[in-house]
Amino acid sequence: MTELTKLKIAEARDLLAKGDITSRELTDAHIAAVDAAGELNAYIAKTPEIALAQADAADAKIKAGDAKGMTGIPVGIKDLFSTKGVHTQACSHILDGFKPEYESTVTQNLWDDGAVMLGKLNMDEFAMGSSNETSYYGPVKNPWRRGDTDTVPGGSSGGSVASVAGFAAMGATASDTGGSIRQPASFTGTFGFKPTYGRCSRYGMVAFASSLDQAGTITRDVRDGAIMMESIAGFDAKDSTSVDMPVPNFEAALTGDIRGMKIGIPQEYHLAGMPGEIEALWHQGIEWLKAAGAEVVDINLPHTKYALPTYYIVAPAEASSNLARYDGVRYGLRETVEGGSLADMYEATRAAGFGDEVKRRIMIGTYVLSAGYYDAYYLKAQKVRQLISDDFKRAFQQVDAILTPTAPSAAFAPGEKSDDPLAMYLNDVFTVPASLAGLPGSSVPAGLDANGLPLGLQILGKPWDEETVFKVSGVLEEAAAFTAEPKIWWR
């Protein structure tokens, strides 16, 4: 049973097609693994009955010759993707008891392809966090430890990466607003992929910042990421930001040939005080790509230094607008005040329902949108966002892809940065610029630090050129030959 949970998606797909294993067997093994990995706190709702029914349906599809890439593959679903009749709360108390009557497009695409749902995954509340410590359901533990010391899995997709790195899912849906796929992937030795904004439908995703949120995947390697991304991507008329263009065969892009490609190295990503191990890994990544036949080009992204403050104006502003809908009237938590007014009920519900980090971002967002400050903060941030996007456009006239570190550190201990929001926000310093520009990007596991914790390298591509990101990621993965696994201490 343990051997089945160590399979990668591509391996399982081939074994299923040959009849060497069944989806029922694969799913049984993963249901047991989910239970055994309880200490990770990756799952906040388990769905074994649904999983077994889907597995049986997948076996029938395979037998009928109607299988696709994800048919019969057990996956976990981040808690902000609506799943019909199943717990969907974005790990917030304010959505207490909410079970939607509709399915998100991303998950519906997976079920249409025959995938199997193991359950809903823990996350930072409303995807606001970089360590998965803000969830109403408690923090997620990283399968990777620093000796005997726990570490955070990164965020906000902490449950997604912990389940995949901990062999309790073959893949997981995730979302990326400012780095919530790529940073946790770097912390856990997994492959994280964020597509171009508009490549995947946002319909049925609980909104954080609507102009930034984008669905993506966490898998154990690049090929699995390509298979899963092809399943979830596609045009959806229910999402006005979804772009009507064909979904390429991402797996076919993994040719291993990047000869003649130009890879940009942004000078602004050499940060003062960055750990030497990360700088060294970046240089090693450059050498790996050179050895594969790519040409390395120094590039400039001059407005990079403004990306983090720009993000922490734009994203909270959109969050304050999106979260205004949670009022205790139609669904979710309702806190009443005896003899109180409707306004009192609103106030009591939001005070009890939102966590500290969510309240902080709502207040920041409300402030920057308020009369007298809108022009000084929000409007100026939107103008700087355009300048950041323009920097990337100019850079991509010279290069085919960009290589950077994914995160400025390896995974840190729980509580180490949670009392200092600015220190926590700096975790996104390398991922936020691409999010503001809507670019596709990945994090490839590329090495270990002195404490044996994973470090990732980030590949960024042109809009709608996910194929190049996958291609370069595959070459980097092969060169890095990252085969390390966390010690299974949680069973």
Q: Distance between CA 173 and CA 82 in Å, rounded? A: 12
Q: Looking at 61, 68, 78, 120, which residue is catalytic?
A: 78
> What letter represents residue 298's amino acid?
D
Q: Looking at 131, 160, 180, 435, which residue is catalytic?
A: 180
Q: Where are the alpha helices (DSSP H) in 191-266?
A: 222-232
Yes or no: say if 90 and 126 are a contact pair by the CB < 8 Å rule: yes
Q: Can 82 be counted among the known catalytic residues? A: no
Q: Distance between CA 249 and CA 470 in Å, rounded? A: 11
| Number of continuous H segments (helices) and E segments (strands) in the chain | 16, 11
Neighbouring-strand partners of residue 81: 205
Cis peptide before 104 (omega within 30 of 0): no
First to last CA, the chain: 14
- Structure-token pair, residue 11: 């391996």
Q: Distance between CA 467 and CA 257 in Å, rounded? A: 12
The sign one gets for the Cα dihedral 142, 146, 148, 152 is negative
Q: Looking at 23, 130, 135, 156, which residue is catalytic?
A: 156
Q: Can 156 be counted among the known catalytic residues? A: yes
Q: Can 180 be counted among the known catalytic residues? A: yes
Q: Distance between CA 486 and CA 188 in Å, rounded? A: 9
- Structure-token pair, residue 363: 């207040």
Residue 58, helix vs strand vs coil: helix
Active site residues: 78, 156, 180
